[in-house]
Amino acid sequence: MSPKIEQFEKYSDAYDSWFENNPDFYEAELETVRQMLPENATEGVEIGVGSGKFAEPLGIRVGVEPSDKMASKAIDRGIEVCRGVAEALPFSGSRFDFVLMVTTICFVDDVLKSFKEAFRVLKPSGFIIVGFVDKQSKLGKEYARKKNESKFYSNAEFFSVQEVVDYLETAGFRTVKIRQTLIPGELPGVIQNGFGSGAFVVIKGRKIKKIP
């Protein structure tokens, strides 16, 4: 078992407790992601669906999750969960209108391979939405500094916005929008375009035709 999964198997209840104990942060992250979902999309999938805390309120009915305990919680929330990892998605190509990954990239083994798999399962001109903690933000730096003390982040790898954009472009996506929230000095619910201030950043990319 990957150590990145083991922690979620062991502390699945603590994971859900964070959302209950930090409702303002949770709602801000959820709303930022919601604003990035494509209009008129009929089928989406969340990769690293966890316990379904994002998929359920966003109306996403399909998820991929390697942790059995987390998957069980998502199933209880009505999500159809496929066991698997981001680097080898258990779906045929060109199936989904959008792919969502929220705080998932810091736990995968290969970010670029994960994005390439997302590209594969998306329909032409489909979207990828990636939510993550910006490692260059104040909170990101704090997480990185204290990650060995964390139940969940001890084996995590954090990324900057530019690193994520570069990975997305290499995988065949064009960045179309970036938004941020959890901005120091602002109320938790404030959402702004761009990045550089907010701890939680969401990037929306469109699948483009690869050059042969």
Residue 109: how many other CB atoms lie within 10 Å: 12
DSSP string, 126-160: EEEEEEEEBTTSHHHHHHHHTGGG-TTTTT---B-
Whole-number Å distance between alpha carbons of 127 and 207:
6
Please state, as a whole number, how many other Cβ atoms lie within 10 Å of the Cβ of residue 146: 11
Nearest CA to 117 out of 81, 142, 92 is that of: 92
pLDDT, position 74: 97
- Helix/strand/coil (H/E/C) assignment for every residue in 36-87: HCCCCCCCEEEECCCCCCCHHHHCCCEEECCCHHHHHHHHHCCCEEECCECC
- Band (pLDDT 50/70/90 cuts) for residue 152 is low
With tokens 């998932």, the residue in question is 104
- Say if domain 3-207 classifies as CATH 3.40.50.2000: no
The answer to whether residue 11 scores a pLDDT higher than 60 is no
In the chain, the percentage of residues whose pLDDT exceeds 90 is 79
Tell me: the pLDDT tens digits for 18-34? Answer: 899 999 999 999 999 99
Query: How far apart are alpha carbons 179 and 41 in whole angstroms?
Result: 20
